[in-house]
Structure 1
Amino acid sequence: MQKRTISRAWHLGRLRVYMEATNIIRDAVSRVTALRQSATDKPELAQAISEVKRLQARRFAGTYVDLLRTEQYQPAALFFLEELYSEKDYTLRDAQFARIASGLERLFPQQVVQTAVSMARLHHLTEELDLAMALCWLNHGELGEVARYVAAWRSVGRRADRDIQLATVLEVGQELDRLTRTPGLRMMLKMMRGPARMMGLSALQQFLESGFDTFAAMGRKGEGASYFLDTVRQREAGLIERLFQASAVACETEITRILGQAL
């Protein structure tokens, strides 16, 4: 009797975790959809968002040019660039996130849930900040590209949200790294290809497999994922600090230097 009670309590607790994850993912995807719609209705704003995202992707490529040139860290740097920092259209993956939200327990391993939640939160915050940047970008059209970016960044402000954004990026990386140490998970992901394809979840499946393989390969040599994530933490935190605290001229000089290094 006691065992049945413990088992029931465990299952109820697990169900609550999934329900909370479902609500978080659905809410984040709904908010991202609304943000995108607000830009779609205004072509000039949509163009500004695209310009901001392109510059940020070039900035990331310049900041991590050394890692992009190494065999060990290039896949991880490209994964972050393409999945977290690019102007790539994530509409399909977002729709799949929303669709899968209520079926997380049935369709994906429990270890994947937190990663999905972190990705949803990160995507919402990133889209919100990029929209705010784009609005300010339009207000500084008389400036050159780099000066315009620095001015927009400072006009938006929101230092706490920038710190949260970085922390969540690192959280996603840490969770993917942890997934690589879960026995049998890679085989489980492989077995899910067919069901995921049949249910129209191929984009989400591809993201999970790509992230898993990228971090698994990186972790087999030297300091692996720890070095990569520590490097991202230090460089991004340093740049955030400078953009908020250094003079505008110093920031523009730094951003110009970084963009010049982009491959």
Structure 2
Amino acid sequence: MSEILLRRRLARRLAWQRRLNDPVAEPRNRLATLPPLRAWQADRLRASFRDFLERPGTRAAAQFFLDDLYGDRDFSGRDRDAARVLPAMVRLLPAALSEAAVEAVELAVLSHAFDLAMATVLAKRPDPHAPITMADYGQAYRETGCPRLRRHQIGLILSLGRTLEAAVRLPGVGRLLRASRLPARLAGVSELQGFLERGFAAFAGLEGAGRFLDAIAEREYAASRRLFAGDPDPFRLNRKPRPGNGGSRSRPSA
């Protein structure tokens, strides 16, 4: 992707991010159901990918995905950093790392948009403060709809993983990231710097990035289809995993 296209894409994503996270322009940010929804989803992801978290060869990559891409945390600091410095960084960083940062912003914004829509559905329950059950989650997922955008959300995760894998293969990228730590700290953009370093380190130590990403694709696409179909156990958390399947035995808190 050219530098001009990368900048334009980043500007559009950041403008969307600012609108969606503004509690005045977007009052759904104040919904009481939003924090427990995010916590529920974080628990579910840890349960779904427990096998990767327990395996030394995939632990760092799985933790990066759960914490930095799909997790229950505020990404606004990283995205503000991206808005401030990424237009200049595209001249210095390998294209793969710049694209990874832009894809991460897009993923965070799209995930937040879905969370707002689902939190709105959950707030309509007879008792909005009741713990979220699997049935509640499935109902909110279906009412929110947008199956194509759900597939795009998963596709962004996979694309970002492939982008980081490509960056790992480039000579000198690790040294460049280490050398930029002090300038990043002095410039006040340590959130973005930390994200890029963690992503690079996670994929540098990954045993078989292709298999890891394929497993994520298989599980998450299948779970989305089952959610839309009304399956009562869409994440297959109550089933004993098949050998090599890497399923999990635990459930998210409800």
TM bin (shorter chain): 0.7 to 0.9
Q: Aligned equivalents of 2:6 and 2:33: distance in 1?
A: 32
Which range is displaced more, 36-45 or 227-236? 36-45
1:156 partnered with 2:144: yes
Correspondent of 2:229 among 236, 242, 245: 245
Percent of aligned pairs with the same residue?
Answer: 29
1:202 partnered with 2:202: no
Deviations 1:152-178 (A, max 9, x none): 101001100000000010000111111
TM-score, normalized by length of structure 1? 0.83
Which range is displaced more, 31-40 or 77-86? 31-40
Given that residues 150 and 251 in structure 1 are in contact (C-alpha distance below 8 angstroms), is that contact kept between their aligned partners in structure 2? no
Which residue matches 1:125?
110
Matched letter for residue 223 of structure 2: L
1:53-64 superposed matches below 5 A = 53-64=38-49
1:77-156 superposed matches below 5 A = 77-142=62-127, 145-146=132-133, 147-156=135-144
1:233 partnered with 2:217: yes
Given that residues 189 and 209 in structure 1 are in contact (C-alpha distance below 8 angstroms), is that contact kept between their aligned partners in structure 2? yes
Q: Aligned equivalents of 1:262 and 1:71: distance in 2?
A: 23
Given that residues 61 and 202 in structure 2 are in contact (C-alpha distance below 8 angstroms), is that contact kept between their aligned partners in structure 1? yes
Q: Aligned equivalents of 1:81 and 1:21: distance in 2?
A: 25
Which residue matches 1:27?
12
Matched letter for residue 213 of structure 2: L
User: Given the superposition, is the C-alpha separation of residues 18 and 43 from structure 1 closer, same or farther in structure 2, using an over 3 Å criterion?
Assistant: closer
Matched letter for residue 102 of structure 1: P
Given that residues 86 and 98 in structure 2 are in contact (C-alpha distance below 8 angstroms), is that contact kept between their aligned partners in structure 1? no
Q: Aligned equivalents of 1:85 and 1:259: distance in 2?
A: 20
Q: Aligned equivalents of 1:172 and 1:63: distance in 2?
A: 20
Which residue matches 2:157?
169
Q: Aligned equivalents of 1:40 and 1:193: distance in 2?
A: 35
Alignment RMSD: 2.5
Which residue matches 2:21?
36
Q: Aligned equivalents of 1:72 and 1:61: distance in 2?
A: 17
- SS for the counterpart of 1:103 is helix
Matched letter for residue 230 of structure 1: D
Given that residues 65 and 261 in structure 1 are in contact (C-alpha distance below 8 angstroms), is that contact kept between their aligned partners in structure 2? no
* Alpha-carbon distance, 1:90 to partner: 1.2
Correspondent of 2:203 among 204, 215, 227: 215
Which residue matches 1:76?
61
Given that residues 48 and 235 in structure 2 are in contact (C-alpha distance below 8 angstroms), is that contact kept between their aligned partners in structure 1? no
Which residue matches 2:245?
none
Gaps of 5+ in 2: 240-247
Q: Aligned equivalents of 2:170 and 2:154: distance in 1?
A: 25
Q: Aligned equivalents of 1:204 and 1:164: distance in 2?
A: 23
User: Given the superposition, is the C-alpha separation of residues 234 and 49 from structure 1 closer, same or farther in structure 2, using an over 3 Å criterion?
Assistant: same
Which has more radius of gyration? Answer: 1
Which range is displaced more, 230-239 or 36-45? 36-45
Matched letter for residue 95 of structure 1: R
1:260 partnered with 2:250: yes
* Alpha-carbon distance, 1:137 to partner: 1.2
Matched letter for residue 93 of structure 1: R
- SS for the counterpart of 2:22 is helix
* Alpha-carbon distance, 1:246 to partner: 3.6
* Alpha-carbon distance, 1:108 to partner: 2.7
- SS for the counterpart of 1:86 is coil
Gaps of 5+ in 1: 1-13
TM-score, normalized by length of structure 2? 0.86
